[in-house]
Structures are given as structure tokens and as C-alpha cells.
Structure 1
Amino acid sequence: MGEAENFARLMRELKERAGLSYGTLARRLHTSTSTLHRYCNGDALPAEFAVVDRFARACGASPAEAVDLHRAWLLADARRRAGGEPAPVTETRPVSEPLPEPETEQVVVVAPAPEPAAAVGSGSGPGPLPRGPWYRRRAVVVTAAGVTAGAVAVALLAAAGPELRAPRTGAGAGAGPTAPSAPGSGPASDPVPTGAPQPTAPGGGSAPGPVPPAASQPATATATATASAPHPAPVAPLKAAVRTHVWAAGCDHAYLAERGPGSVPPPPVEADAPAWASAQRAVHAGTQIVEVTLHGTGGGAVVLEDMEVRVAARRTPPAWNVYQMSQGCGGGLTPAVFAVNLDAPRPLARPVAGNDAGKALPAPSFPLRVSAAEPVVLRVEAVTTGCDCDWSLDLRWTGPSGSGTLRIDDGGRPLRTSAATGRPVYGYALEQGRWAR
């Protein structure tokens, strides 16, 4: 069974269980009955995630069933893009159903605007008018003209505000409103570009200097990226809480620091590790575990489609000392993680199964559904044996406001993990009150 056929089968099963007619479902999905028939027969594929989500809600699908339906649609859509599957069908509102009145200004419609064929957030300008209860509708004036060889249709944003209108051209271009260009004008949760490398030694040396504390580095990357964009990207409907100092089993970890053992204080507990590492200008040695807790911020669900690893810089590991936080510990729990090899030319986040006292924990997999009531915790374990790496994670999401990318880093700076092979290793001797090899 192909991906499109499997998706159509899931739609038919949900529809039959809900006991809803094609006409009733079509009205709730703001589409035609014939289009819905084609979706359920496998002859066509919805062009966007919002249609799939509305269908699952209308049929009363459980969270697990909704995730299965979303996963099937993503696989079918990927197969369609590669060729060999039915083309997507862009939804159109039935002629008999009147358009809702706009929120602020009157709408003059000469030609109906179809739903967008691609998710919002590509950055190429305002797309067609989105439909459905998740989207805030904008007042649009559509002018259709021309009966000659070429027909021209021009859509102008009439009520989206000056910051979303296209820049004017011609002699009077300077008089009209343009997109904001001042730093900080973009949304706080816009994707942040890959961070710049850490400063290197004078003369082009590859060994980096000490890592400045977080408070001393201004977070200007986001403002620089969004100021040049003519249209702001959709705000991610997600809230991410990131822990960058997670120790294995709560006690096993190591840091690289330039200072000698006589000037380094005793190891902290895991909760105090960020402040301890910042004070010592230390970096993660060999391994870094990052834990990301995601919550939805709106009423709808968000689907996490994939996670990409971005390596911004690779340097020769510094010749510093390794400080072990524990002389050895262990536990009955090995969490399931996404493993990342930073030494690979193109690192990937690979799912790895875990173990809880002999009971297997399944490996995590995308897509994942997130909402305000259904948080998701992602655990990423990055390893390097050959580089001092600056890196970050990009989470691709699709949700009520469109689609986009959420950058996961260390408070606006790239994450940093360095190899420690061949470096002096120190452990803390409690009975002597000092670091010893």
C-alpha cells in the first residue's frame, strides 16, 4: 500500500467511525464535497497541514490517531514531491457558502482567492488568503482585469498594516511606508541565523580564546536577521525551555577549563553547573546533553516535522585540562535520545532507544505533536572526538500560523562542545579537598 493510499484509508476510517456525511464534513473543512471525496479515495492529497488537522478534529480523533494521520500525510506529501503520487488539491470554499465578513474593513472580492498551496512562512512575501478557524483573515482587495492574450490579477493587502505591505517603487517610493529596518523589530521567536565562530587567537591560530560569560555577549543575531527581511516570519506557536548542562545519570560529566587545578573550585551539583562553568570559562568536554521541553502557546496543535543539526564552526580543541564532575556513578535509567556526531561532515540527529531497568524505551521519532496540554521533551546527546565545535539545532514546525523553524541554542549563542582526547584529566579527591590526577 502506497503512502497516499494509507493516508486515504485513515481518513475513511475516521469518517466512518464519526458517522458524518461528506457534505457535513466538507462544510466544516470549508471545502467542496467532491474534493473531500477525492481525499478519502486517494485520488488527491491536501496541500497543507491545516486541512488534515481540521479533519481530525471534526471526526473526534484521539491525540494518537491525529499524530498517525499527520504522519501519514507527511509521508504521502514527501512521496508526492518526489513524484509518483497524486497531486495536492488546493481547497476552495463552496460557492453556496458566503465568505465571512472581515474584522476591520469591507472586503471587495471579484475573484475568489484559493487557499495557499504551501505553508506560510517561506519568506517570499504574502501568500494567498488562508482559510479556517486557525487563521486571522486579512481584508484583501482583488482586481481581475484583461480579456487579451495575458490576464493580470493583482492582490493588494488593504488592512495588514504598513509593515506587511510591499515597498513602493518609482518616483514616490520614499513617501510610502516600508518594512521596518531597525534592530529588534522582528518577532522575538523568529529563527536565529547560525551563530558566528568564537574569536580565534591573533595571527590566525586555530586555538580559541577563553569563552566569555553569557552576560558579556550581546544577542544581536536575531535583530540582524529579521531587519533585512521584507516580511516578518510567522511567530512560532511554541515555547522552548532549554537545559544545556544535563549530566548523564545526574552526576557524570566533564568540562574543559584553561585554569590549573589549584585555582578551580570543587565540582558543583548539576543544578549549579551553568554558573560554575561560566565562572571557570569552561566548555563541555567530549559530550554535551541538551534537553528541550516544548509547549504549545495557542489553542491548536503544532507538529514538529524534523530536527536539523547546524555546525557553525570547527576548531582545533584547546590544550586545556579536563575536570571530571564525578569519579563514577550510574543508574537504572538510560533515556532515549537523539544522538549527534559533531565530527561528521553533515551531522544528523539519529534516534537511539533507551533502557529503564531492563525495559526497553522506544527511540524518539518525528513527526511529534505538541500543544499546550501535550508538552514534548527532546533529549539530544552530541559527541566529538576531534573538534571544538559551535553548533545549534533547528526544529521545523507546522501549526496554526503556518510553518517555520525554531532555533535551539544557548540563550542566543551557539552551543559549544570540544574534544578532550589526550588532555590531562583531574578528579576531585574529597578526602584531600583538592583536584588530583
Structure 2
Amino acid sequence: MSEAEDFARLMRELKERGGLSYGVLARRLHTSTSTLHRYCNGEALPAEFAVVDRFARACGASAAEAVDLHRAWLLADARRRAGAAAPTPVPEPAPEAVPEPQVPEPQVPEPPVPAVAAERAVLVVAPAAVGEPVVRPSWYRRRAAVVVAAGLAAGAVAVALLAVTGPERGTPQAGAGAGAGTGAGTQGPAGSGPAAGTPSADGAAPSEPATGPAPPSAASQGPATAPAPSSSPPPAAAPGQAPAAPLRAAVRSHVWAAGCDHAYLSERGPAAVPPPPVEADAPAWASAQRAVHAGNQIVEATLHGTGGGAVVLEGLEVRVAARRTPPAWNVYQMSQGCGGGITPAVFAVNLDAPRPLARPVAGNDAGNRLPAPSFPMRVSAAEPVVLRVAAATTGCDCDWSLDLRWSSPAGSGTLRIDDGGRSLRTSAATGRPVYGYAVEQGRWSR
């Protein structure tokens, strides 16, 4: 069975188990039904891995199945590239018989053959006897070039598979060190803990927790957008410092359910609060009202790789920096009720738990189940990943953040996801006065 046929077989098995039609899958993959049918029959191969990744998620593939599908696509793609690069042999006219000189041809050292290609070269070309003049026809050099190209393609597949699976745990990583940071992330060997001053993984409050409601910090004026990803590798770290994280995150901390449903807590009275904004203007509106998220908060992080290789996202850790008594403020609803046909799959976080976890929850698209997100995930400069986290509380005024664990062939570490360098803040709103905006009257009312 060829590499392309093996890849098509895995696609068919996932599709049959997922129980989705070609039409439904094609819409989710943003492609045509006929193209998807050709992929599953082995008549065509996706040009980019992004299509393969979306297909695996739509069919509810496990992490191991997604890796197997990715490996099969890499092998099939390498075979396709090697076939396209190999020149078509052109028959040449037989050379006229010319008496050959008796002087042996000088030996010209040939370029080194990659390790992967060397094996194949031994099977193709027999060494000349000692002292025998080496006379190589013109077709020899063309065949040697094809052997070298095949070896390079096989080597590229091995490197790509290493980027997908990530380095083995326990293997020392060059340049890896321990540390903590915000935005740029922390780097260190897998399993290293946070630096001093960082909250513990169980989310417990600091040794001297705050008592009573604290004045809210100014909300972010917009999404915390990192610099655009670059195709060049990250700069080398100075001696004694950890390498830069190969990831950049664009964080949106004011995401409303269905684009309209959300609530904020504010100590101001309804007469002093302006009408609710649209979602895009929510950060500035909340900052001006000194408002905090009421009851729940959705955070969305779009991740891009900053180097030429792939990075494996391994998991999310929730860190609660402080727990306070919720303030007795008013609740302001941004909408009187709305709904959408799509409920995205998210990582749900219960901030009231002693050790909050990011729990995968499936979504819904007009009655069709959307698979719950799962780690590991693969991200690169050309293939971004969007993480959506929905946090909720009914009993605390919480300062919290997320640590995203990553690994790559160059090292491993964590990337901090927060509100532009500040902790995210979500407060319980149970039992507080709730106001909705009456458009016809132009004011807030209960």
C-alpha cells in the first residue's frame, strides 16, 4: 500500500466513525464535497496540514489518532514532492566508439551523501575494482542526483515527525532553563516549576490573602496583541538566560457569548453608567466604568509560532493569584437576550475549585456536536491555533491567569496568558442588583 493510500484509509476510518457526511465535513473544512471525496479515495492529497488538522478535529480524533494521521500525511506529501522533483530520464543516442586512453581517469571526490541516502546508494552503485579506471556515463550523475534527493526527502519527513511528537520527556534540552514571565512566557525543561513569587499550581491564595473587595485594576484598552509572527528562528539567548519562547499570543479578554451576551459589575449607579457598547468597544467601556466581569469571563488566545518549525502545545494550567469577597456592586447586562446557532467548544474553568482545571467541553453547531478541544496541539507560523477558555465563579472575586505548556525540538517551557501583563479578574455576582438597558426609554432599569 502506498503512502497516499494509507493516508486515505485513515481519513475514511475517521469519517465513518465520526458519522458525518461529506457535505457537513466539507463545510467545516471550507472545501468542496468533491475535493473531500477525492482525499478519502486517495485520488488527491491536501496541500496543507491545516486541512488535515481540521478534518481530525471535526471527526473527533484522539491525540494519538491525530498524530498517526499527521504522520501519514507527511509521508505521502514527501513522496509527492520527491516524485515531482525527480527528473524524467531522456534517452540519449549511443556514443560513437572512440578508443579510450590507457591512462586512468583522475578520481574526483564526490559530494557527501546524506546518511539516509547512503543506504540506498550502496544498493544501486557497485564500487569499481581497485586500480580499474572509473568511466561513468552521463546517466550515472542523473541517477545519483535522484538518490540524494530521495534521501533528503526522507530526512525531512523524520524532522517533521519529531516536530509533531515533540522531544522525549526527561531528555535534556539545549539552552533550557527555569524562569517565569508574562507575555513572552517562561522557558525551561519539562516539569520545571514556576519561579519565586509565582502562585502555586493548586490555585491557592497567597500566604497573606487580601480581605474584602479590592479596587478593580484598569481593564485592557484592547486585545493584548503580540508582534506579528516571523518566519525566522527566535534570536539566540545570552549566556545564562533561557531562550525566547517560540510562540506569540494575541489575547482577547472581553469575549461575549454569541457576540452579545455578557455582564459587568460596577460600583456606579445606573444614572452614571452610559449605554452598553458593542463587543469591540467593551474594553474601553469597562475601563471607563471601573467595571469587572460578572460571574463569568471568556478569554480567547490566538497563538502563532515565531520560528520556522512546529511547536507542540501540551496543556493549560490555571493559576489563581488572589481570592477576595465579591464586591456589593450593581450588575449591568449588555443585552436583554440573544442567541446563536453555534456554541463553540471551550476549556471550562471553575474558579471556585480548590485547584481549578481547564476542562475540555464539546460545542454545538445547529444540532451537530463539535468535538471538545484536546491536547497536544500543533502550532506554527503558518498554522495558528485558537484557544477559548470560559471561566466562572459564584463565590469569589478572583485574580487569575493561564500558563500554556509548550515543547519543541529546541526546548520547552510555558507561556503566560493574561490581560496585557495584568491578572484576569472575574467576580461573583450572585444576589446583586441586575440592570438591563431599556432602549426605548434610554436608561438602565431593573
Q: TM-score range by the shorter chain?
A: 0.5 to 0.7
Q: Distance in 2 between matches of 1:251 and 1:215?
A: 19
Q: Kindly tell me: are residues 343 and 124 of structure 1, through their superposed partners in 2, closer, same or farther at Cα, counting changes over 3 Å?
A: closer
Q: Kindly tell me: are residues 406 and 25 of structure 1, through their superposed partners in 2, closer, same or farther at Cα, counting changes over 3 Å?
A: farther
Letter in 1 for 2:422: R
Q: Distance in 1 between matches of 2:70 and 2:331?
A: 54
Question: How does 1:16-31 map onto structure 2 within 5 Å?
Answer: none
Q: Does the alignment pair 1:206 with 2:189?
A: no
Q: Which residue pairs with 2:156 in the alignment?
A: 58
Q: Deviations over 1:303-343 (max 9, x none)?
A: 11111111111111111110000010001010010001111
Q: Which residue pairs with 1:110 in the alignment?
A: none
2:278 aligned residue (240, 260, 269)? 269
Alpha-carbon distance, 1:209 to partner: 3.2
Q: Distance in 2 between matches of 1:187 and 1:255?
A: 26
Letter in 1 for 2:437: Y
Answer whether contact 2:220 2:287 (CA < 8 A) is retained. Answer: no
Q: Kindly tell me: are residues 8 and 250 of structure 1, through their superposed partners in 2, closer, same or farther at Cα, counting changes over 3 Å?
A: closer
Q: Deviations over 1:376-398 (max 9, x none)?
A: 11100001111110000111111
User: Which shifted more, 206-215 or 399-408?
Assistant: 206-215
Letter in 2 for 1:391: W
Answer whether contact 2:116 2:154 (CA < 8 A) is retained. Answer: no
Q: Which residue pairs with 2:337 in the alignment?
A: 328
What is the number of residues matched between the two proteins?
A: 286
Q: Does the alignment pair 1:291 with 2:300?
A: yes
Letter in 1 for 2:173: A
Q: Kindly tell me: are residues 423 and 411 of structure 1, through their superposed partners in 2, closer, same or farther at Cα, counting changes over 3 Å?
A: same
Answer whether contact 2:183 2:420 (CA < 8 A) is retained. Answer: no
Q: Distance in 1 between matches of 2:326 and 2:296?
A: 13
Q: Kindly tell me: are residues 56 and 357 of structure 1, through their superposed partners in 2, closer, same or farther at Cα, counting changes over 3 Å?
A: farther
Q: Distance in 1 between matches of 2:319 and 2:347?
A: 14
Question: How does 1:144-293 map onto structure 2 within 5 Å?
Answer: 189-191=184-186, 206-213=211-218, 231-293=240-302
Letter in 2 for 1:209: A
Q: Distance in 2 between matches of 1:245 and 1:7?
A: 33
Q: Distance in 2 between matches of 1:13 and 1:328?
A: 45
- Structure with greater helix percent: 2
Q: Which residue pairs with 1:393 in the alignment?
A: 402
**Percent identity of paired positions between Structure 1 and Structure 2:** 70
Letter in 1 for 2:217: P
Answer whether contact 2:219 2:286 (CA < 8 A) is retained. Answer: no
Q: Which residue pairs with 1:319 in the alignment?
A: 328
Letter in 2 for 1:348: L
> So what's the TM-score if we normalise by structure 2?
0.56
Q: Distance in 2 between matches of 1:416 and 1:387?
A: 10
Q: Kindly tell me: are residues 327 and 303 of structure 1, through their superposed partners in 2, closer, same or farther at Cα, counting changes over 3 Å?
A: same
For residue 314 of structure 2, give the secondary structure of its aligned residue in structure 1: strand
Q: Which residue pairs with 1:349 in the alignment?
A: 358
Answer whether contact 1:121 1:404 (CA < 8 A) is retained. Answer: no
Letter in 1 for 2:184: S
Answer whether contact 1:396 1:406 (CA < 8 A) is retained. Answer: yes
Answer whether contact 1:291 1:379 (CA < 8 A) is retained. Answer: yes
1:119 aligned residue (167, 173, 186)? 173
For residue 59 of structure 1, give the secondary structure of its aligned residue in structure 2: helix
Q: Distance in 2 between matches of 1:382 and 1:190?
A: 21
Q: Deviations over 1:167-221 (max 9, x none)?
A: xxxxxxxxxxxxxxxxxxx99724397778xxxxxxx9722232232589xxxxx
Q: Distance in 1 between matches of 2:382 and 2:73?
A: 26
For residue 278 of structure 1, give the secondary structure of its aligned residue in structure 2: helix
Q: Kindly tell me: are residues 435 and 56 of structure 1, through their superposed partners in 2, closer, same or farther at Cα, counting changes over 3 Å?
A: farther
Answer whether contact 2:183 2:415 (CA < 8 A) is retained. Answer: no
Alpha-carbon distance, 1:59 to partner: 2.5
Q: Distance in 1 between matches of 2:441 and 2:68?
A: 69
Letter in 2 for 1:210: P
Q: Which residue pairs with 2:348 in the alignment?
A: 339
Answer whether contact 1:253 1:326 (CA < 8 A) is retained. Answer: yes
For residue 382 of structure 2, give the secondary structure of its aligned residue in structure 1: coil
Q: Distance in 2 between matches of 1:8 and 1:251?
A: 40
Q: Distance in 2 between matches of 1:187 and 1:341?
A: 23
Q: Distance in 1 between matches of 2:275 and 2:437?
A: 7
For residue 298 of structure 1, give the secondary structure of its aligned residue in structure 2: coil
Q: Distance in 1 between matches of 2:255 and 2:69?
A: 43
Q: Kindly tell me: are residues 267 and 402 of structure 1, through their superposed partners in 2, closer, same or farther at Cα, counting changes over 3 Å?
A: same
Letter in 1 for 2:156: A
Q: Deviations over 1:125-172 (max 9, x none)?
A: 9xxxxxxxxxxxxxxxxxxxxxxxxxxxxxxxxxxxxxxxxxxxxxxx
Alpha-carbon distance, 1:296 to partner: 1.2
Q: Kindly tell me: are residues 121 and 423 of structure 1, through their superposed partners in 2, closer, same or farther at Cα, counting changes over 3 Å?
A: farther
